Every structure is written in structure tokens, then in C-alpha cells.
Amino acid sequence: MLAGKAYVSAIETGDFDLAAKAVRVLQLRGKAEPEMPLVLYAVAFAQRDWNGADLATVELEALENFAFLQPYLGAWLETARGRDGTAILAQARSNATSRYYLEEHLILHSLVRRRENEALALLAALVERNEARMAPVRIIAARHFWARNETATAREILKFQSTAPEQKLYQLIEAGQKKGVAQKVTPSTGLAFLFQRLSNDLASQRAEFLSQVLALASTRVAGDSDYARLTLGRSYAMADNHDLAVAEYSRIGPDSPYFLVGLSSEIASLVANEDYGRAIGRLDSSLDGNPEAPELYILKGQTLQALGENAAAAAAFAQAVALGEQAKRSDLVMANYWLALGGAQEQAGIWPEGLESLRKANELLPNSPTILNYLGYAQLERRENEEEAVAAIKQAHELRSSSPAITDSLGWAYFITGEHERAVAYLETALEGQPQDPTINEHLGDAYWTVGRLYEARYAWKTAKLFAEDEDAQRLASKIDLGLRPDLVSP
């Protein structure tokens, strides 16, 4: 019992050595959980205890749940021993779950075995697909070729620069930065990436504890790895352990491809802890070192918004827009910058400047449901330009009819323009998607009251009041008592 509690506590606090000791005790008592051999495998691999790693693989297979990893664990172990693990790796084709991870490990194995031409043949298809999920693989490969002084190959792998880390790495390569950037792939790199990938996949399935186990295992074998720190930080944040998350994120240096992602994640964890002063200080410090980075001003604006300082946030976003235009960022990026600026201006009451910013975002990215919905609803709230507002919301709904928020906006647009029965139909659909949303419930209550469904209106308002705050809660309380009056209609 004590060993079981010690194991859980050790994982949650990042004490991997204690976790390994607890696992050994539990194994002697026949109480091992399916993931526990992975802990011992990571410890043995890091210590070059190949026999211990072999034994852990056998135990993992016996416990079944993670047996699909056996071809990868066996192949990386053989490679670390200086042998050819290709035949073991090929066993992954016989299992559907194993096959899901095969392509990336074929590439990494080829790079470790210095069969770069073989790796490039596989990388060509991966690069052209340009999938966000495969960005970490492209980054590992580009860093490998950069370490081999094959600059053109590294650039080609990163040519789409579709994620922030890829953009950062491309810039570092262009600047000739080698230290801390150029890294050849080793067996430890490949094994760590297996653990990192699985940790992230488990996190997406809300398996928080298992995600932490795999993230910690990756740090044990990865050595000085920025992606390992990012993965571990994410697993801590997923479990609401933001102090440990911040500690991991803060270790990702400014020359890492993952610096901005790590900094953004660090700020998010500080905000989650309501440590706004530290978050702003961290951003100001980063801006001192890189005052021309629009992304840092975006982060600062988002942090100020979380603090409720919308006017100051708007000023930060305006700086990001100016720097982004100067740096010739893409239309997609600039549309999001203008949207951030327009949103902050709208919330700060800086209007009609906010409207012009939202219109600019829409010009740059005319088919974005998010931008169209915000553009329309912001005008609808002010009961201005109703024809333009309704047209924007209708277009947003055509593009993303599955969104409860956009469906609510369209229902409310029909309410404002006097089509009350039609409004009820759309608002009821929106409520099915988000039954506890206070705005949707209040809108539906107003629509119900207007078409004479008074009992249902009060029920909707009461539901809205459960989740509303401040002025919204007061307005709803008045409606519940007095019914709908012109001065009590939802904004």
C-alpha cells in the first residue's frame, strides 16, 4: 500500500528515482500496473543496462496494455547496443496501434544508422503532407541535417514553416546558429521521442497520470532536450500542477525552436495560478531581449486581457500588428493579430476603432467563421449596421453550422431583426450543443418570452443565472421577477 502511494506521489512530483524504487517493490508483490515496466526500462536504458531493459520489455509484454510498444523498445535497444534493429522494428506492421507510430520511427532509425538517403525518401512524403502532428519529426530531422552541415536539406524539410517551432528553427538556421540547435539523432533521441509522442497522445485522451509517467520517462533518456521539457511541462499543466509546469517551461532557452511555445505555455500556467505579475514580468524580460518580436506582444496582450486590462491589452496588440506588418507576416497571422486587437478594443469600449480592426481581419481572412461571427455579433450588440452584422453571422453559420456559439449568434440576429419564431429554433439548437451556456440560455429565455412561452422563458433565465456573474446575474434576476422589459433585453 505504501509503495503504491509512493509511486503515485513520485510521478506527480517528478521524482522518477522514487517511482522506480516503488515499482520494484510492487513487482515483487505481483502488484505491478501495466505501465510500470516502462519506468524500469527508461532507468535501465539511461544506465546502459541492456539486460535490465530487456527484462522490462518482457514484463511489459506480459502485462499487455502497452505491449504494442515492444517493437519500438526492442528496436531502439538493439540500436543502442550497436546492432541492427530493423527486423524488430518491422514487427510493428502486425499491430494496428503499433503501425500508427511506424513512419516516424522508420525515419529516426534511418537517421541514427546514418542512412540519410533512406530517411530523405521517407521525409519527402512527410514534408509534402505538412501535417501539424509531424512537425516534431520534421524538426528532429532538420536539426540532424543542420548538424551535418547540410543546410539546403534542413531548409527543404522546413520549407512550409507551418508551425511556430519550425519557423523559429528555420530562422536559427538562416542566422547560422549551431550551438544548442544542431543535434544529430541518437538512439536516446528516438526512444525519448517515442515516450514524448505517447505522453502527448495520452494527454489528449485525458489520461493525465499515464501522460506524466511517459513524459518523465522521456526526460530520463533524453538528456538535455527542450522538447522533453515541453512535453513534461504539458503533462504537469494537464494535471493542474502549474508550479512544476512553469519550472519545466522556464528551462527552454531563447535559442530553442520551442522557445515561444514554451513561453506561451509558461504564461498560460502562470495565468492559471493567477500569478499575473510574474507573467507580465516574464514577458517584459523576454521583450527586453527581443523587442521586435510581435508574438511576445500578443502574449502580453492576452495576459493583460486575462487580468481585465483591455485598454492596455489593445495597446500591446497594436504594437504586435505594427511589428507583424513590418516583418511581413502572412495574411493568416496578420488576420489573427487584427482580430486580437479588435476584440480588445471592443471589450475596452474603444469603438468604432474596434470595428475597423475587425473589418481589417475579415479582409485578410474573409472566410473565417470566428472572425465573421465576432464582426457580426459585436455590431449586433450595439444595434448598429444590422444588415452587415446579420450577413456576417449568416456567412459564419454557413461555414461552421456545427458551432453552438455561431448558431446562438444567428438565432439572436433573427431575434433582433424581429423573426422571433425563427430565433427560437436556432437558439434551441445552440442550447443542445452547450446546455449550460449562460448567454445562450438568456437569449433563448428572451425569445421564449417574446413568443408567449413564459414558463419556459423563466426556466431558461434561471438556468442562465446559475452560471452568470455581476451585471448579467442582476439583469437575469430582474427578468425572472418582472418578465422581459425593453431595458432588460440581453445585450
Count how many residues are written for the chain.
491
Is residue 435 packed enough to be buried (19+ CB in 10 Å), middle (13-18) or exposed (0-12)? Answer: exposed
Check: CB of residue 393 under 8 Å from CB of residue 374. Answer: no
Q: Which three cell numbers stand for residue 218?
A: 522521456
Give the Cα separation of 471 and 217 in Å (integer).
Answer: 49
- Burial degree of 332 (CB within 10 A; 0-12, 13-18, 19+): exposed
272-297: pLDDT as tens digits: 999 999 999 999 999 998 999 999 99
pLDDT at 31: 87
Contacts of range 14-22, beta carbons closer than 8 Å, 24 or more positions apart: 14/216, 14/232, 14/236, 14/244, 16/42, 16/43, 16/216, 16/217, 16/219, 16/220, 17/43, 19/213, 19/216
What does the DSSP 8-state code read for residue 489?
S
Q: What is the dihedral of CA 455, 457, 460, 464, to 10 degrees?
A: -130
Comparing CA positions, the residue from 391, 401, 454, 455 lying closest to residue 429 is: 401
Instruction: Give CA–CA dist 278/275, Å, rounded.
Output: 6
Cα distance between residue 192 and residue 196, in whole Å: 6
At 32 the pLDDT is 87
Amino acid 461 reads: W
**68, 96 in Cβ contact below 8 A?**
no
Q: What is the grid cell recorded at 131?
A: 501535417
Sequence-distant (6+) residues with CB within 8 A of 231 are 196, 199, 200, 215, 218
pLDDT at residue 83, rounded to an integer: 93
DSSP secondary structure code for residue 94 in this structure: G
| pLDDT for res 186 | 96
Largest Cα–Cα distance in the chain? 81
Amino acid of residue 123: L
At 491, list the grid cell.
445585450
Contact 267, 261 (CB under 8 A): no
- Name the DSSP class of 487: G
Q: List all residues 6 or more positions away from 230 whose beta carbon is below 8 Å from its beta carbon.
A: 248, 249, 252, 258, 261, 262, 265
CB contact at 8 A, 386 and 406 = no
Q: Which secondary-structure segment (H or E) carries 306?
A: helix 294-306
- pLDDT for 99 equals 94
Q: Is residue 328 within 8 Å of residue 167, measured between CB atoms?
A: no
Distance, CA of 224 to CA of 229 (rounded, Å):
9
Angle at 371 between CA 318 and CA 349, to 5 degrees: 50
Q: What amino acid occupies position 361?
A: A
Contacts of 371 (CB under 8 A, 6+ apart): 335, 339, 358, 361, 362, 365
Cβ-based neighbour number of residue 111 at 10 Å: 25
Residue type, position 238, single letter: M
Residue 353 sits at the vertex; the CA angle it makes with 350 and 359, to the nearest 5 degrees, is 130
**Alpha carbons 400 and 402: distance in angstroms, whole number:** 5
- Residue 443 C-alpha cell reads as 437569449
Burial of residue 330 (number of CB atoms within 10 Å: 0-12, 13-18, 19+):
exposed
Using CA atoms, how far apart are residues 288 and 207, in angstroms rounded to an integer? 39
CA atoms within 13 A on the CB side of 489: 13
Which domains, ranges and CATH numbers included, belong to the chain? 187-249 (1.25.40)
**Positions of the chain with pLDDT lower than 70, given as ranges:** none
Q: Which long-range contacts (CB under 8 A, 24 or more apart) does 373-382 make?
A: 373/403, 373/405, 373/406, 373/409, 374/339, 374/342, 374/343, 375/342, 376/409, 376/413, 377/409, 377/412, 378/342, 378/346, 378/354, 379/355, 380/409, 380/412, 380/413, 380/416, 381/491, 382/351
Q: Would you say 75 and 105 are in contact if contact means Cβ atoms under 8 Å apart? A: yes
The amino acid sitting at 54 is D
